[in-house]
Amino acid sequence: MKIPTAFFLAALSCCNSVWPATGAPVDLQMRVGRYYESFLVNEDGTAVESLEWSKTVLKETALERSKRAIVSYSTSAQTAEVIAAYTLKADGRRIDVPKDNYQVEVNRGQGKDSPVYSDWTTLTVVFPEVAVGDSVVLSYKVTQTEPMFPQHYSTAQFFSNQIAFDDLRVRFDYPASMWVQYEARGMKEAENRVIGDRKIIEWRYANERPVQNDRRDYTVFDPDQEIGYAFSTFKTYADIATAYGARALPKAVVTERIAALATEIVKGKAAKVDQARALYEWVAKNITYAGNCIGVGAVVPRDVSFVIDNKMGDCKDHATLLQALLTAQSIKSTQALVNAGSVYRLPKIPVVANVNHVITYLPEFDEYADSTSDSTPFGMLPFSDQDKPVLLVEGFKEGAKTPVAPINSNREHVKSAIKIAPDGSASGSIEVVEKGEGAVRSRAWARKISKDAEEDLVKNVFRGQGMIGYGKFEKDDPTGMVDSYHYKASLNAEKFLKLPGPGAFYISPPLGLSASIAGAVRTPAESEKEADVTCSGGSIIEEYVIELPKALRVLSIPNNAKLKNEFLSYAATYVLKGKVLTVKRTLDDHTKGNVCSPQYFAEYKKIADKVMDNLKEQVLYK
C-alpha cells in the first residue's frame, strides 16, 4: 500500500511517457535532490515502507506548497513514524521542525468504539523558515501491521519526467523464498542479489534536466509507458480476483432480513429482469455512496446488515448487498473488479491498485451494473466503468471487458424557436429531448437543482453571456432511473441582435442548456497529437425557426453542407422564406469504444474542421 507525501502525490498526477520528450527545458520551480524509498516485505504480506526525500525551492511560486508535507496512514492497519524533518538553509544551517509544527488529524469513533467509515490519520509537517534556495527534508516510515491480503503484497509508483530528480532510488528487501514479479521502466538496476534468506533489488533514476512535454490530456493512462516500477506477489489478475473473493463473498449471505427485503422490493414483478432492475434501483437510490478507509476495510466489505442500517456504503458494500439481494431471488450475479480511473489496459504486473472499483455482473442478462451511481439506469454503466478490463470474482474470464454504449445510443434533439423584434430584442423557446448518457447527466442535475436556482436559471444564463433576459425553465420529473429526458425553457432577451443597422449573427442554441454540435466536434479536433484519449459517439440534431423583423434585409445565410467519412457525418440546410429562417443540422458521430488514437482523431479532424467552418458562417443583414 503506497502512502506518498502530498508533494509527490500531486507530482504523480501529471506523469509523462517514458519515451523522451523533445521540447524546451522545463522552467523548474523546485528540484528533488534525493528520493530514497525502501520496502521491507515480510512473508505474511505486511511491510515497512521507508521514505526519505529532499527538495530545493528554486522559485517564489513554489514556496508555499514546499512548506508542508503530509504523511497519511490507517491507524488500524499501520503505524507511522517521522524520523527526521528539517529545513536546510542555503548557507548550510539545519533547522529542525519543532514539535508544535506537526498537525495530526485522526478519524476515530466515539469513546473506545471503532470509527464507522474511516480511520485515516493525516500527519502534516510544517517546515520552518523556508525561503527560495533552501531545501526541505523529510524522512519517515510506515509499518503495515495487517496485510491487505494475507501472504500477498503489491505496489506500484510512477515518476513524472517533468520533475528534476538528482538521485532517486527504490529498494525492495523481501524473503528469497517468496514468489515475486517486478518491473522497472526508465530506471537502472543497481543491485540484485540474495543475502542469506533475503532478496534485494534496487533501481535508480535521475532526471537532472527535464524537458517540456506537450501532453495535457491524461484521460487515458498506460502505466506500462510511464517511468516507475511495479512489484507484486500475485502471479495473475485472476489471483487478485480470487484473493478479493475469499474475503468478500462470505459477506454476501442471504439472511432472513435480506430475503424479506428482497421479497418486498420485487413485489408484483414476475419477470426476473424486472426483479433484477428493481433490486438494483433500490440499492442505487437508498444506499448512499461513501468511502471505506478502515484498515483492511479497503478491500473487505462490511456486513450487509450494517450497510442497510446506515443506508451508506462504498463500492464493495454496494456490490455485496446487491449480490445478496439478487441471490435471495435466485438471480445469479458476481462481483467484478475494474479500474474506475484512466487505465483502459491492465499493466503487465498485476498490482491490486490497478483495479480500484467493484461493480456487479449478471450473467443471465449479460449485464453489468454499478449501484454506486444513483442516476445510471439498469442496463447502462457510468462512462468511467465502460470499455474497461474487468476481473470477474466468480467465473473469471481472461481478457473480459465491460461494454461500451452502442453506436447512436446517445442522442440529443434541440428545437429552438426565436422571434426577433425590430429593436433587436428576442422572445422564443428551446426544447431538448435527450437519450443515453446525456439524459442521465441531465436527470442527475435536474434532481439536485434548487427551486430558487431553477426559477432564476434563464436569467442567470443570459447574465453569464453578458445579456439581460428572463424566462421560465420547465423540466419533466427527473426521479426515474431511465435513459431519456425532456426539458424546455421560454426566453426573452434584450439586445439579442444589434438593431437597427447592419450586423451578423451565428446560429447556435440560444441558452446553451444542452450539448451543441460545435462543442461535440471542437473537443476531438483539439485532442492530443501523440496519445490516446477518451472519446464517445452519438448524434445531435439542432433545429431552428428564426423569425426576423420585416424591416431587416438578409444579405446572406450559411451554405448548405453535407460531409461524411467513416467516423462522422454532418448535414446542414438553411432555408429563408420571407422573413423566416429555418435551419436543420444533424451530426452523427460513429465513434466505437471509449478510447481513440491520434490516428483516429487525425481522420476525424478532416471532417470536424469542415463542420466547424460551416458552423462559423453567419447570417449577414442590413
User: pTM of the entire structure?
Assistant: 0.90
Instruction: With cut-offs at 50, 70 and 90, classify the pLDDT of residue 2.
Output: very low
pLDDT value of residue 8 = 37
3-state secondary structure (DSSP) of residue 39 = strand
**Helix-helix angle 272-286:315-328, to 10 degrees:** 150
Each residue of 356-408: pLDDT tens digit? 999 999 999 999 999 999 999 999 999 999 999 999 999 999 999 999 999 88
Lowest-pLDDT range of 6-20, 24-38, 313-327, 410-424: 6-20
Residue 124's nearest CA partner among 67, 175, 76 is: 67
Query: What are the Cα distances from residue 488, in Å, to 222, 344, 417, 544?
Result: 42, 37, 11, 14
Q: Which three cell numbers stand for residue 265?
A: 422490493
Residue 13's nearest CA partner among 341, 339, 451, 271 is: 341
Q: Which three cell numbers stand for residue 558?
A: 450559411
Each residue of 584-598: pLDDT tens digit? 999 999 998 899 999
Contacts of residue 309, Cβ cutoff 8 Å, sequence gap at least 6 = none
DSSP string, 20-71: PP-SPBP--SEEEEEEEEEEEE-TTS-EEEEEEEEEEE-SGGGHHHHSEEEE
pLDDT value of residue 19 = 41
Sequence length of the chain is 622
- Distance CA(324)–CA(249), nearest Å, equals 9
Instruction: With cut-offs at 50, 70 and 90, classify the pLDDT of residue 170.
Output: very high
Burial 105-136 (b: 16+ CB within 10 A, else e): eebeeeeeeebbbbbbbebebebeebeeebbb
Domains observed in the chain = 6-233 (2.60.40.3140), 239-392 (3.10.620.30), 411-621 (2.60.120.1130)
Residue 442 DSSP class: H
Contact predicate 156/1, CB 8 Å: no
Q: What is the mean pLDDT of residues 88-105?
A: 95
Bridge-based pairing of strands 288-289 and 334-338 is: unpaired
pLDDT value of residue 215 = 84
pLDDT value of residue 116 = 64
Backbone φ and ψ of 315, nearest 5°: -65, -40
Instruction: With cut-offs at 50, 70 and 90, classify the pLDDT of residue 7.
Output: very low
Residue 3 DSSP class: -
Contact predicate 487/474, CB 8 Å: yes
Q: Sign of dihedral through CA atoms 16, 21, 24, 30?
A: positive
